[in-house]
């Protein structure tokens, strides 16, 4: 059974810092990995999708890497801003799960203070 | 605007009632999904549908039912058999296939009175 773990559970940083969020998964036979952002009481916003054959994806100040063989992904946020405060979730598709199903980690709550 | 809409935003249910949550998408996606989010437990898959008139159970389907009569609609019914329905419900869609990106709606918060 695929399991996804995110570390740390919460992170508080001052504005302007670069930071890294970690995601690990137990079954490396994944199709892809997605990073999402969730604001309180809202739905999920897709940030980056990395296919299993890719090593990284970039969008603006965000960079996500994938090491499938070791079961790890990182989300790098450059020059953090208070508007980046949210919960960040990673999810994997595949790894012995139902077709198309995403298995989610429990998220990292990020607070960026001015 | 293309996207996924869910209604209502808030829903209150009395004991023994069935309630239906709406999910509509105008992205022309084949696949649709329902997830449940509880504090401290992340998101869990309830049901999914890869094509019209077909759907499969996810990890926690007991006490729920769905239909997929139209490509753009995937309503979820929370029945009285669901003993702990208070949660945040999220609908998602994708083009289809395991490699595709999933997009989420704004969610419905269901509370049992």
What's the confidence (pLDDT) of residue B93? 95
DSSP letters along chain B, please?
---EEEE-SEEEE-TT--EEEEEEE-S--SEEEEEEEETTTEEEEEEEEEETTEEEE-TT-TTEEE--SBTTB--EEE-TT-S---EEEEEEEESSSTTSPPEE---EEEEE-
Given a cut of 60, whether residue B19 has pLDDT beyond it is yes
Query: What is the per-residue pLDDT across B49-82, written as a single tens digit (0 to 9) for each?
Result: 999 999 999 999 999 999 999 999 999 999 998 8
Report the C-alpha gap between B32 and B67 in whole angstroms.
Answer: 11
Q: Do B105 and A43 touch (CB under 8 A)?
A: yes
User: What is the reported pLDDT for A98?
Assistant: 59
Average pLDDT score over residue span A1-12: 94
| Chain Cα centroid distance, residue A99 | 21
pLDDT reading at A51 higher than 60 = yes
* CB-CB neighbors (< 8 A) of B44 in chain A: 104
pLDDT of residue A103: 92
Length of chain A: 114
Q: What is the mean pLDDT of chain A?
A: 94
How many Å lie between the alpha carbon of B91 and the closest alpha carbon of chain A?
9
- Considering only CB atoms, which chain B residues are within 8 Å of A68? none
Average pLDDT over residues A18-22: 97
> For the segment B81-107, what is each residue's pLDDT rounded down to a tens digit?
888 999 999 999 999 877 789 999 999
pLDDT for res B96: 82
Indicate whether A109 pLDDT > 90. Answer: yes
**How many angstroms separate the CA atoms of B107 and B15, rounded?**
22
Which string of b and e fits B15-44 if b means at least 16 CB within 10 Å? eeeebebebbbeeebbbbbbbbbeeeebbb
Could you tell me which chain B residue has the CA closest to the CA of A9?
B40
Give the pLDDT confidence score for residue B15 in this predicted structure.
85
pLDDT of residue B1: 59
Chain B residues with CB-CB distance to A49 below 8 A = 101
Nearest CA of chain A to the CA of B73: how many Å? 18
The answer to whether A94 contacts B107, with C-beta atoms less than 8 Å apart, is no
User: What does the pLDDT read at residue A95?
Assistant: 59
Q: 3-state class of A84 per DSSP?
A: helix
- CA torsion through residues B56, B57, B62, B64, sign: negative
Residue in A41, A44, A101 nearest the CB of B58? A101
Contacts of B58 in chain A (CB under 8 A): 98, 101
The nearest alpha carbon in chain B to A94 belongs to B98
Q: Kindly report, residue by residue over A72-93, the tens digit of the pLDDT.
A: 999 999 999 999 999 999 999 9
């Amino acid at each position: 059974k695929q399991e996804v773990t995110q570390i740390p559970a919460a992170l508080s940083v001052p504005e302007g810092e670069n930071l890294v969020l970690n995601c690990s998964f137990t079954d490396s036979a994944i199709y892809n990995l997605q990073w999402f952002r969730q604001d309180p009481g809202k739905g999920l916003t897709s940030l980056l999708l990395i296919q299993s054959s890719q090593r990284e994806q970039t969008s603006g100040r965000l960079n996500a890497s994938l090491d499938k063989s070791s079961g790890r992904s990182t989300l790098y946020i450059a020059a953090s801003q208070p508007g980046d405060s949210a919960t960040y979730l990673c999810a994997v598709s595949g790894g012995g799960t139902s077709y198309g199903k995403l298995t989610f980690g429990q998220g990292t709550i990020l607070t960026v203070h001015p | 605007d293309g996207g996924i809409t869910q209604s209502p935003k808030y829903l209150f249910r009395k004991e023994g009632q069935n309630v239906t949550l709406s999910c509509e998408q105008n992205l022309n996606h084949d696949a649709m999904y329902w997830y449940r989010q509880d504090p401290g437990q992340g998101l869990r898959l309830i049901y999914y549908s890869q094509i019209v008139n077909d759907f499969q159970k996810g990890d926690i389907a007991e006490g729920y039912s769905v239909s997929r009569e139209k490509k753009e609609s995937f309503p979820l019914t929370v029945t009285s058999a669901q003993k702990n329905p208070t949660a945040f419900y999220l609908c998602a869609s994708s083009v289809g296939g395991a490699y595709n990106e999933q997009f989420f709606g704004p969610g419905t918060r269901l509370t049992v009175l």
